[in-house]
Amino acid sequence: MKEQDQQLTDLFARDEQQAFKQLFVQFYKPMCVAARLYISDWADAEDVVQQVFIKFWEEKHYKKINSSYKHFLHISVRNACFNHTGRLKTRQKRENNIDQEALAEQAIDFLLQKEELKVFETAYEELPPQSRKVFELVYFADQPYKAAAQKLNISVNTVKTHLKNALRILKNSKAINNYYSDRKKAD
């Protein structure tokens, strides 16, 4: 054991707080520099070193050291850095998996919407031409009944009748009913 290490050991025997303070002052900055070799972010490197010192104090490692304090701290910091980067990689991997799952769900939702749109278009083609025009104006162009009636030169009651007819046809459409009954079976 070096003389400097022996002096720290003797000081720990007499005054633990003073010895720890001296150890911290002497090795904190060099350990932060060492941590930066493993961790790119300075703040994270400092956090790791601080945690090493806290653990050193709480678990009273100074009572177990028979060799160099510097060597012990350096190994502890290196291992803590490896643990830190491992946790970061695990978290990033988990986040990437979540991102991939979210993208897959979005793709499935998009495909289902496209499929539903095709089914609706098939049923929509079954509508009589005048009912289809009324349906387009009211539901797609968001026109009030009165504006749709004026545009098509028909009465408001006729607009309502065409809409009622269109909705009945869509509701009873084989394409739509088959699609949703197949979806229920799949769920």
Are the beta carbons of 74 and 83 closer than 8 angstroms?
A: no
pLDDT of residue 126: 84
Which range marks the domain in which residue 9 is found? 3-93
Q: Cα separations (Å) of 58 from 7, 63, 72?
A: 21, 11, 15
Domain's final residue, options 37, 69, 93: 93
Domain contains 113: no
- Asked which of 43, 70, 93 is the last residue of a domain, the reply is 93
**What was the pLDDT predicted at 158?**
93
The CATH number covering residue 153 comes to 1.10.10.10
Q: Any idea which residue has 């009273």 for tokens?
A: 60
Cα-based distances in Å from 122 to 113, 170, 175, 178, 180: 14, 10, 7, 12, 14
Rounded to whole angstroms, how far apart are CA atoms 10 and 177?
A: 87
Confidence at residue 183, expressed as pLDDT on a 0 to 100 scale = 66
Same-domain pairing of 13 and 57: yes
Residue 45 lies in a domain: yes
Element (H, E) at 75: helix 69-124
- How high is the pLDDT of residue 66? 74
On whether residue 107 sits in a domain, the answer given is no
Helix or strand run (H / E) with residue 35? helix 16-36
Per-residue pLDDT at 185? 67
d(CA 99, CA 102): 5
The CA-based diameter of the chain, rounded to the nearest angstrom, is 106
Considering the domain architecture, whether residues 132 and 83 belong to the same structural domain is answered as no
How high is the pLDDT of residue 149? 92
Which pLDDT score is estimated for 91?
A: 73
Report the C-alpha gap between 146 and 182 in whole angstroms.
39
* Residue 170, token pair as written in the block: 């869509």
The count of domains in the chain is 2
Whether pTM > 0.75 for this model: the answer is no
Q: Are residues 67 and 139 in the same domain?
A: no
pLDDT at 97: 65
Same domain, 86 and 141: no
| Together in a domain, 89 and 134 | no
Distances (CA, A) of 126 to 94, 133, 135, 160, 174: 48, 13, 13, 18, 10
In tens digits, what is the pLDDT along the chain, a chain of 187 residues? 577 777 878 888 888 889 889 888 988 998 888 888 888 888 888 999 999 989 988 888 777 777 788 888 888 888 898 888 877 777 777 766 666 766 667 777 776 777 787 878 888 888 898 988 988 888 888 889 999 899 999 999 998 998 898 888 888 888 777 777 766 666 5
